[in-house]
Amino acid sequence: MPGSTLPSPKGTRDFYPIEMARRRWIEDKWRKTSVRHGFEEIDGPTFEHVEVFTIKSGEGIVSEIFGAFSGKDETQLENLKQGHAPFALRPEFTPTLARMFAARAKQLPQPTKWFWQGPCFRAERPQRGRLREFLQWNCDILGMGGPDQPKERATADAEAIAVCVDLLASCGLKPSDITVQINDRHIVAGMLAECGAAGREMQALMLLDKRGKIPEAEIGPMFAAMGVDLARFDAMAAGLRAPRVSDSPRFADLGAALASLGVEDWCAVNPYIARGLAYYTGTVFEVIVDGERAVAGGGRYDNLIEVFGGPPTPAVGFGMGDVVLSLVLQDKGLMPTDAQIAKDLGLRPDAFVISNGTPESDAAVAPLLARLRGRGLHARRSYKATKNIGKLLKDASDAGARFAIIIEGAGEVTLKNLDDNTQDRGATDAMLARITP
């Protein structure tokens, strides 16, 4: 197609340098926050056998899978013709994490605290906050709090929530901006059963997850068809709702654990949080800003390690996406300027080398750059033909450099501090010694 350009596939993003720096700023915060809370980083493949996701994640996510084929395997040709992909690009990381934990469960410490960040793929309809390729950050705690250890379980749940809250706080968000809405599938499934969903609790939970996402006029009849008395459920739910988690007697342990980690102010009980994924077994939570899709979601999944052949293992964690987080930070004016991001990421040039315009000075630019870089400094130059020092100094300051070094001739430079606009001229060695990383 000569003369025309190609857009990236629907729902994907191209990251030019500015967007890439913003992305790295978020990824850097994710990584540093995880490390502060004692999580260790892991990674797995970008694609998995499709069964890894069809086994336990639930229909919602299976209907959004991007299938992948290997052109090398003859036997796959038949699959290809029938449209059955043997592999899936990962729509989420939890099944991979469960597979990895199950394979080494005996050797791994208890608890095991893992974090992960990377791209996920979901064939969703692209819309505000939803893309087809996005980044996710996960923190998961495995092997802490058995079935008869409610306090330890609450501690693990609270630790997972606390690392998530710490990330939000480190971005400048406040409890008045954003809420971790917490619920418990056990409790809600019991309530739904009482309201007519006995034996179909999971279907009712999945429908509850859709409430608020599809019109009430449509969802009412769907609950009715399932035999669920929605008005009764709403009345029971009103009794469970609590602005402070510890005010809700059924969440007393979790409330206490959240309070001791100093994050209870960020949390509330919301009996309508159900979560779309099938594997959650108890506590579930979503991080919500009014009017946006969830920034993060997670919960307890105590049966998943067994599904992947491991021993019974309690587990809790969450995933946070970069798309909604970025929208929220932008809307609240909390996304730093590009100059600040460059500074935070250590991308500011330490020195910008300029020639005073003589042929000798021109020839000295490259060796001086090499010398600075050899000392571990970030050094740049202009590639423009101009000899106008004013213009070159502007280039240096546009690049965000800390210092401009103007080569004045044999063994002499002017060192200009671009932060405070002071300058000094002297022997090259003495001047360069003033630039520390």
Task: From 20, 11, 9, 290, select the one nearest 130 (Cα to Cα).
Answer: 11
Binding-site member from 33, 117, 138, 248 for ligand HAM (CB under 6 A) = 138
Q: Confirm or reject binding of residue 100 to ligand HAM (CB under 6 A).
A: no
Interface characters, 313-332, with ligand HAM (x: CB under 6 A): ----xxxxx-xx--------
Which two three-digit tokens encode residue 127? 């819309």
Binding-site member from 48, 140, 209, 302 for ligand HAM (CB under 6 A) = 140
Q: Confirm or reject binding of residue 143 to ligand HAM (CB under 6 A).
A: no
Q: Confirm or reject binding of residue 246 to ligand HAM (CB under 6 A).
A: no
Dihedral sign of CA atoms 119, 280, 62, 131 in order: negative
What are the residues whose beta carbons fall under 8 Å from the beta carbon of 24, sequence distance 6 or more?
341, 345
Of 31 and 343, nearer to ligand HAM (C-beta) is: 31
Closest CB 26 distance from ligand HAM, rounded Å: 12
Of 284 and 392, nearer to ligand HAM (C-beta) is: 284
Is residue 299 exposed (0-12), middle (13-18) or buried (19+ Cβ within 10 Å)?
buried
Of 255 and 297, nearer to ligand HAM (C-beta) is: 297
What are the residues whose beta carbons fall under 8 Å from the beta carbon of 355, sequence distance 6 or more?
361, 362, 364, 365, 387, 406, 407
Closest CB 100 distance from ligand HAM, rounded Å: 13
Strands annotated E in 289-365: 296-300, 315-321, 351-355
Of 323 and 354, nearer to ligand HAM (C-beta) is: 323
Calculate the CA 276 to chain-centre distance. 18
Q: Confirm or reject binding of residue 297 to ligand HAM (CB under 6 A).
A: yes
Q: Whole-angstrom Cα distance, residue 55 to residue 124? A: 20
Q: Confirm or reject binding of residue 114 to ligand HAM (CB under 6 A).
A: no
Binding-site member from 22, 37, 90, 122 for ligand HAM (CB under 6 A) = 122
Closest CB 342 distance from ligand HAM, rounded Å: 26
Residues touching ligand HAM, count (CB under 6 A): 23
Task: From 88, 44, 96, select the one nearest 62 (Cα to Cα).
Answer: 88
What are the residues whose beta carbons fall under 8 Å from the beta carbon of 299, sequence distance 6 or more?
185, 275, 280, 281, 282, 283, 284, 285, 316, 318
Binding-site member from 143, 271, 298, 310 for ligand HAM (CB under 6 A) = 298
Q: Confirm or reject binding of residue 92 to ligand HAM (CB under 6 A).
A: yes
Of 130 and 241, nearer to ligand HAM (C-beta) is: 130
Which two three-digit tokens encode residue 217? 């006029």
Q: Confirm or reject binding of residue 168 to ligand HAM (CB under 6 A).
A: no
Of 295 and 407, nearer to ligand HAM (C-beta) is: 295
Of 132 and 381, nearer to ligand HAM (C-beta) is: 132
Q: Whole-angstrom Cα distance, residue 418 to residue 420? A: 6
Q: Whole-angstrom Cα distance, residue 357 to residue 386? A: 9
CB-based contact 304:279 (threshold 8 Å): yes
Q: Phi and psi (nearest 5°) for 138?
A: -120, 140
Which 260-279 residues touch ligand HAM, going by CB under 6 A?
277
Q: Confirm or reject binding of residue 89 to ligand HAM (CB under 6 A).
A: no
Q: Confirm or reject binding of residue 308 to ligand HAM (CB under 6 A).
A: no
Which 10-39 residues touch ligand HAM, going by CB under 6 A?
none
Binding-site member from 136, 248, 355, 361 for ligand HAM (CB under 6 A) = 136
Site for ligand HAM, rule CB under 6 A: 92, 94, 122, 124, 130-131, 134, 136, 138, 140, 277, 294-298, 317-321, 323-324
